[in-house]
Structures are given as structure tokens and as C-alpha cells.
Amino acid sequence: MTRFNYLAPRLERCGLAVAPDAVRAVRAPALAVLCAAAFAVVLHAIELERLDAARRAGGPVRRALVALQPSLDATRALERDVARLRARAAARAALRRSGDDAANEIARTANLLPDDAWLASVRVEPAQLALDGRARSVDAVAQALGTLTASRPGGSARLVSARSEADAVTYAIAVERAP
């Protein structure tokens, strides 16, 4: 079999002389580069086809998502409403508990007063209970003040005013509330 080298005469006409041995030495690596390039082109074409198939398959999914968006918005609005209503219920329960706590505190405080001291009014303030009342004597007011002070560890009860009248003593005591 006879081989003809058409490349060498053409290169000689252009002024480039390539020895046949040099062409043989470059032939295998050049063929490998051409095969790699062809492989890359085929892979690129396959990936483009896969991407196009994914886009085609994604169309119905996108339409389904668009169709579900109003339901999703309604669900999120309901979740916000549920969270808001739960917060309201918790606040309402805390308010009820605080009323029960304040009533219990007033009852405990009133039970500490001696038998000859009576309450006329109780005001619940954030930091204290304001007690207004009457007693048979100044000693009963002093005993009430001592009992209230002793019942509050770390707290205090102070006499705000006392006025002696003909048959009783009118008093006002401020009792520090428990934290």
C-alpha cells in the first residue's frame, strides 16, 4: 500500500517545509485533540437537550405553582391570623391570671389585719396596694402596720396618714407589692 502525503507539498508551496517524520509525530496527539473536541461537542449537545427537556417538563409545574399561589397566600394569611389569635388568647389568660393574683393578694392582705381594723377601700397600683380604713384605736393601726410589714420579706408597709376622730381612727397605709 502506498501512502501519499498531500499536506507536505502544500506546506512547501506556502513556504513551510515540514518533514514527514514531524507530521507522523504530531498525528496521534492531533487526533486525540480532535476526538476530545468532538466528545465535548457531543456532550454539550446532550446537555442542551437535557436542559430543554427540563424546561419543557418544568412548564406544567410552573403552571401548577401559579394556580396554587392564591391558596398559598390564603394559607399564610390564616397562619398569621392563628398566630394573632393565639397571642390574644395568651394575653387574655395573663390578664385573667393577673386579676386572680391581685384578688388573692388583696384577700391575703386583708386577712392580716387585726379584728379591730377595717378596710374602707383598696387600690391596686403597679408597685403598691393602697389601703384606706378605720380602726378602733391607734394601737390597732400600729398592730396592722407591724403585721403587714412582717408579712412582706424584703418589702415594706408604711403609714401614709392617720387621723383620730371621736369614735375611731381613720388610716391610710401603702403596702409594697410582691414582685
Residue 10, pLDDT > 60, answer: no
Amino acid at 101: D
Reported pTM? 0.47
pLDDT (tens digit per residue) in 142-156 = 998 888 888 877 668
> Quick check: helix, strand or coil at residue 176?
strand
Residue 53, pLDDT > 70, answer: yes
Task: Please name which of 172, 161, 168, 96 lies closest in space to residue 137, comparing C-alpha atoms.
Answer: 168
Name residue 174's beta-bridge partners.
130, 158
pLDDT at 169: 92
Q: How far apart are CA 110 and CA 124, in angstroms?
A: 13
* Average pLDDT rounded to a whole number, residues 6-15: 57
End-to-end CA distance of the chain: 110
Pairing of strands 117-124, 128-135: antiparallel
Residue 118, pLDDT > 80, answer: yes
pLDDT (tens digit per residue) in 62-114 = 888 889 999 999 999 999 999 999 999 998 888 777 777 778 888 888 888 88
* Sign of the CA dihedral with 71 first, then 72, 77, and 82 last: positive
**Whether 147 contacts 114, CB under 8 Å:** yes
Residue 15, pLDDT > 60, answer: no
Q: How far apart are CA 18 and CA 11, in angstroms?
A: 7
Query: Which 3-state string (H, E, C) describes 12-38?
Result: HHCCCCCCHHHHHHHHHHHHHHHHHHH
> Quick check: helix, strand or coil at residue 153?
coil
pLDDT at 39: 95
